[in-house]
Amino acid sequence: MKTSKSDFMDKIVVLDFGSQYSHLICRRIREFSVYAELVPFDISFEELQKHNPKGIIFSGGPSSVYNSNAPVPESKIFDMKLPLLGICYGHQLIVNKFGGKVKRANKE
């Protein structure tokens, strides 16, 4: 079944950090009758506001928050008072931004 933006009332924005599953995440959200739009992680705060999202998903990606060239979205995005969901790298990013620590698990 083909769906369009007009078929949905709410919108979730997925920030793409390079995950091979970003498009799949959007598709799964749309299956719940919520529009999902994939945008680059470096979208400006002003441009993101124009989307008027109900929440933001930070996708996974090949980076680590401790890499010197790790991709980081504009800081104001974290202050939008919207629900945030991080997947893999996206979760690391949210944890790191709010003062948590990310480290490798011990192998047993």
* Measured CA angle at 95 (ends 89, 99), to 5 deg: 140
Q: Judging by DSSP bridges, how do beta strands 55-58 and 35-40 pair with one another?
A: unpaired
pLDDT tier at 5, thresholds 50, 70, 90: low
Domain borders along the chain are 8-97
Helix ranges restricted to H, 1-106: 22-30, 45-51, 89-97
Torsion sign over Cα 60, 71, 31, 9: positive
Per-residue pLDDT tens for 86-100? 999 999 999 999 999
CATH 3.40.50.880 holds for 8-97: yes
Cα 10 to the chain's mean position, in Å? 16
- Is pLDDT above 70 for 29? yes
